[in-house]
């Protein structure tokens, strides 16, 4: 039997896949101060590493104006942060 038929079939995982660290909007309340950058998110226990990119998702509510800097934002997270009077900065 041919080798390709004997080996198990597995899924494909892209070599340059970007794995984001996820932070929900509702959890940004735990960040001290009026600015949420990856360093302050790590201090608050929201992310584990400063080397991996951060993505903010829109689950939850935010009750204060906060300036958020992350690598990516979902549309609902961007809307909720700006609606509360905050500011969104995308870091590359």
Residue 50 pLDDT: 95
Question: With bands split at pLDDT 50, 70 and 90, how would you rate the model's confidence at 29?
Answer: very high
| Structure-token match 């101060």, residue found | 33
Residue 41 pLDDT: 95
Question: With bands split at pLDDT 50, 70 and 90, how would you rate the model's confidence at 1?
Answer: confident
Q: Report which of residues 73 and 7 the model is more confident about.
A: 73
Q: Name residues whose C-beta falls within 8 Å of residue 84's C-beta, 6 or more positions apart in sequence.
A: 62, 63, 64, 65, 66
CATH number attached to the domain at 18-90: 3.100.10.10
Residue 11 pLDDT: 82
List the chain domain ranges.
18-90
């Amino acid at each position: 039997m041919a080798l390709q038929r004997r080996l198990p079939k597995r899924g494909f995982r892209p070599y340059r896949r970007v794995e984001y660290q996820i932070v929900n909007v509702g959890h940004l309340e735990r960040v001290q101060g009026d600015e949420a950058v990856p360093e302050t998110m790590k201090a608050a226990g929201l992310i584990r590493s400063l080397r991996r990119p951060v993505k903010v998702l829109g689950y939850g509510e935010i009750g204060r104006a906060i300036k958020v800097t992350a690598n990516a934002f979902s549309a609902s997270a961007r809307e909720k942060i700006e609606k509360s009077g905050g500011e969104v900065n995308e870091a590359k």
